[in-house]
Chain A
Amino acid sequence: MMRPKISFDDTWYPDFAERMENDGPWGDFQLYKLAYRAEKELLLPDFSDLAAPRHLPHLELFPHQIETAKTVIEKMHGKAILADEVGLGKTIEAGLIMKEYMIRGLAKKILILVPASLVLQWAKELNEKFYIPAVPQRKAYVWEQCDVVISSIDTAKRSPHAEIVLKQDYDLVIIDEAHKLKNHKTKNYQFARQIKKKFCLLLTATPIQNRLDELYYLVTLLKPGYLGDPESFFRDYRSGKNKVKNEESLRRLVNKVMVRNRRVDTGLKWPKRIVEFFEIPLSKEERTLYDSLNTLRKTEFVQGFSLLTLQREACSSREALYMTIKKMLDEQASERTRLHEIMAPILANIQNATRHSKAEKALEIIQALNGEKVIIFTEYRATQLYLQWFLKQHGISSVPFRGGFKRSKKDWMRTLFEKNAQVFIATEAGGEGINLQFCHHVINYDLPWNPMRLEQRIGRIHRLGQKEDVHIYNFATKGTVEEHILKLLYEKIDLFENVIGELDDILTRLEIVSLDKEIEDIFASSESEGEMRIKMDNLTSVINAELAARKEGEADGTTCDSSVFG
């Protein structure tokens, strides 16, 4: 057995000799002891087992996450595809592996490539959850001078960045949303292939296993040659156009480089979503107000989408509507314009519509919950303010929340809600950051145009760590645009029963960049009710088809998804 050569530390003696020569300076023995003590604490007495959890006392790690990190480090030698089902915490797993390698001194220079929209979120999570000083790349010098850098692949692959990146010697490279590299002919793939790296983690949200060529090229990125050359690989494993053969052997191969945890296997209790829709009739005065907006249709001031905006505001609260109209009027040159004239009756209707049918419904629900905590999401600040006032009239304490709050204020509001208030009224899903899992009731006071936004809202509380079933109350006012959205969109996509992120994934697949925009366009450009209905039907049926395909894949044991990688 050949013992590796020992390289002895030769940095210590020269300074020591100099101090003997010069009679000092000598260090303090207390500090000398403390240095030894620190080193003893940081010692890693075993090749195996994770040291990182001891460094992360605040982080709640789930057994499958710890197991995954161990498998990747000990069995896969730090080259792995992390392909957990959505919502199981792939980024936590990646962070944990990264932290372990950093603690062990095995990785120092690290590059993290993520979609541009996720750069800041990754930076925040690594800094806050893992105490890893990861830096978003903004200036060219960052590549060379910072140890842990986060960037989008689109930036990194461009000159002059690409040249610098390809000169670096990375210990670890992490690529999030790696399925986007599926096409090996793209510049992105070629670039990723050229980066010099020891360890490498590829994170993918989609089950790549259905797509043989994606699988082949991702594994090749990780371990060139592991699946052989493309020709022999496809000859051995592809049958017909897109089916898999020799599944057993492929499964064995791939299981050595890929971890895919499934929700059902984690043994975690995944809370249910219990969704209720409320079609709320408008009061007589609200109805009058809403209908009076139709008078704007034929004017030159308010067209297409703007009218829709006003209508949606009217569905939320007269306050929200008033704010927009007031702003329009303030922008006028004088106080006696044609617009003032047109708006006068509407403003009168706003005056009259003192009852808020939705607010009453919300109150009813909140009171029935006997003090259990509730989150209300609304799209409008004016509605938020009104609701806060309204609930207070009925002795219910609430805290407001907006995406624009500073971090410290967000945390403070969250604490207030947890300790002192029953209701949390938010205008922003706030995409990232605050943990509201102690609450399991959500009222969607008005429905956003983009179902993804709704998904994000619910995702704040329906996630790992939520112990109760989650109740979701969706409000839509009867006989309004909201009812349209509800009927045309929400009821057709089996949205709420689907698990977090699945929709995001589908939209990515379908290359629908912004569903918002898509729906706005349909509403704004449709000449008639009928046209709108047809267009919305098309949209929802495409989404549903993809959903159904996926379900089938999961239920049917013979597809490659479950048979090859189950």
Chain B
Amino acid sequence: MEQLAIHQYLVDYFTAGGCQILECRPGFLKVKLTVALDKLLMNRPFYWHYIEKIGREPETQVLALKTVQTEEEGDFIHFGSPRLHQIFASTKNLARYVRLYEERPANGKTQTPLYPWLGMNVKVSFQCDLKKDFLFSLGLNLFNGTILNHFQEKLESLPLTPKIPDYCYTLTPMIKPQSGLRRLEAVIEQVIAQEDFHWAEEARERLQNDLDLLERFYEDLDPETYGAAYEKEKQSLIDLYEPKIQTHIINGGLFYLTEHAMHNF
């Protein structure tokens, strides 16, 4: 992530978070935090506890962030800075669930139907003593079962609003969201099955090798004395090498979209 992109990210973040932007120029940003973001980012639980106890109007903090070194004021933010990672992590807490409606210019007085979609962004990790990730963004039409990949990119090209627009109505899902989720998981499983699993085989070989060495090492030692140590070390080896695949749902939600939008996908 280039410094320029980081600056833009910060501007988008604090704007979306409803903060007042006090100063903003290339390389520098100064914002007045909202109560929610102050609590989330500034780590001052005692202050909030105190203020809430005495019932006083809180004073939120001002945060100055710079993305070029030449600015004097502010924390320098780059791709590795803890502040940026804190912000990254907070986006997941703030928006793990959404419900949105597509907004189209009203077509006379005719009612427009909106189709329900379950959208989901999922990270899949292959893990042994090494790790590798995949990102999936999937959408499932809960009315007719259509499944789309790269759903997020498509959503971002649509005008979306949190309130149902005038002259629109939503169609009732034929598929329940929970079974929709199962369907999407099945899709992920299918796609993953195409991958190469040599990595897992190799990890198992490593595990077996190290387990053999360990066993030989303890072979002649008294199990009364050394049994527990052997078990502990064996478990550590399994924890280290045993290959696994995990999914993590970054965020997801319900999207009500026009038929028009679906045709353009």
Contact = CB atoms under 8 A, between A and B. Distances in A.
Q: Do A and B bind each other?
A: yes
Interface of A: 1-9, 11-13, 15-17, 19-20, 24, 26-48, 54-58, 73-74, 77-78, 104-106, 131, 133, 169, 193-194, 196-199, 220, 223-226, 228-229
A17 B178 contact: yes
16 contacts: A6-B188, A17-B177, A17-B178, A28-B95, A29-B95, A30-B12, A31-B91, A32-B91, A32-B253, A34-B12, A36-B121, A39-B92, A44-B132, A104-B130, A131-B81, A196-B235
Given A29-B98, A39-B123, A194-B229, A223 B247 contact: no
A470 B94 CA distance: 55
Contacts of B252: 12, 16
Given A1-B197, A9-B122, A57-B78, A196 B96 contact: no
Contacts of B17: 28, 31
Residue among A3, A54, A78 with the highest chain B CB neighbour number at 10 A: A3
A73 B95 CA distance: 35
B239 A198 contact: yes
A27 B251 contact: yes
Interface in B186-210: 188-189, 192-193, 197-201, 206, 210
A56 B79 CA distance: 8
B16 A38 contact: no
B49 interface: no
B200 A2 contact: yes
A342 B28 CA distance: 66
A4 B88 contact: no
A45 B133 contact: yes
Contacts, number: 212
Given A54-B79, A224-B217, A35 B245 contact: no
Contacts of B54: none
A464 B83 CA distance: 30
A55 B130 contact: no
Given A31-B13, A36-B137, A9 B197 contact: no
Contact of B9 (A8, A26, A37, A54): A37
Contact of A3 (B12, B197, B232): B197
B259 interface: no
B135 interface: yes
A46 B214 CA distance: 30
Contacts of A193: 229
Contacts of B213: 223-226
Given A36-B251, A199-B240, A30 B137 contact: no
A13 B178 contact: yes
Interface string B125-141: 11101111111010000
B132 A45 contact: yes
Contact of B82 (A40, A43, A133): A133
Nearest to B198: A1
A36 B250 contact: yes
Contact of B97 (A16, A40, A58): A16
Contacts of A169: 239
Contacts of B181: 13
B183 to A, nearest CB: 12
A26 B99 contact: yes
For the complex of A and B, 5 pairs with smallest distance between CB atoms? A27-B95, A225-B217, A55-B80, A30-B16, A225-B213
B246 interface: yes
A212 B243 CA distance: 35
B35 interface: no
A197 to B, nearest CB: 6
B109 interface: no
B253 A26 contact: yes
Given A31-B13, A47-B130, A6 B245 contact: yes
B152 interface: yes
Interface string B222-265: 00000001001101100111011111111111100000000000
Contacts of A196: 232, 235-236
B238 to A, nearest CB: 10
Contact of A44 (B131, B137, B236, B246): B131
A116 to B, nearest CB: 27
A35 B254 contact: no
A414 to B, nearest CB: 16
A51 to B, nearest CB: 10
B135 A39 contact: yes
